[in-house]
Structure 1
């Protein structure tokens, strides 16, 4: 049985009225990916900071997932020597 552990670090901050999230994936191998996500408060909406955090984090994690699919497609192409297209 194969078992491994990967780490995703999520950093959140606010600057100039926007919430920023940075998601960083570190695997036991050489794979290290990083993606960003942002959110901004609509001036007509009530200020609920947790919602901005959630949106920015979700966007960063989604972008990270897309990058990981691209890496996997490249790895598959390296093994099969055939073009690969993985659906996002």
Structure 2
């Protein structure tokens, strides 16, 4: 049977003065933890629907986390091979 690994992402969401901040935390196995951050701002002309701000901030935090994870993977490939790597999403 193939080995199965589980990585868990915890997302913390906070709101203050019309700004929503999301922080996505990943502890990938035994390597260093990674964190992605995303923000959303309520436009004064828009109706205040907090869940929309949460969705935008979380999406941005996950995107930031994905880019950081890909950068980490790129660095690991380069360290392993001794050659430049250009991983893309």
TM-score, normalised relative to structure 1: 0.95
CA distance in structure 2 between the partners assigned to 1:40 and 1:82 by the alignment: 41
Q: Kindly report structure 1 stretches of 4+ aligned residues shifted beyond 4 Å.
A: none
- Aligned residue pairs: how many? 88
Q: Could you say which residue in structure 1 is the equivalent of 2:40? A: 39
In structure 2, the gaps of 5 or more residues are: none
Tell me the CA shift for residue 5 of structure 1: 0.8
Q: Could you say which residue in structure 1 is the equivalent of 2:78? A: 77
Question: What RMSD over aligned residues (CA atoms) do the two structures have, in Å?
Answer: 0.9
TM-score, normalised relative to structure 2: 0.94
CA distance in structure 1 between the partners assigned to 2:88 and 2:9 by the alignment: 22
5 Å matches for 1:37-76?
37-76=38-77
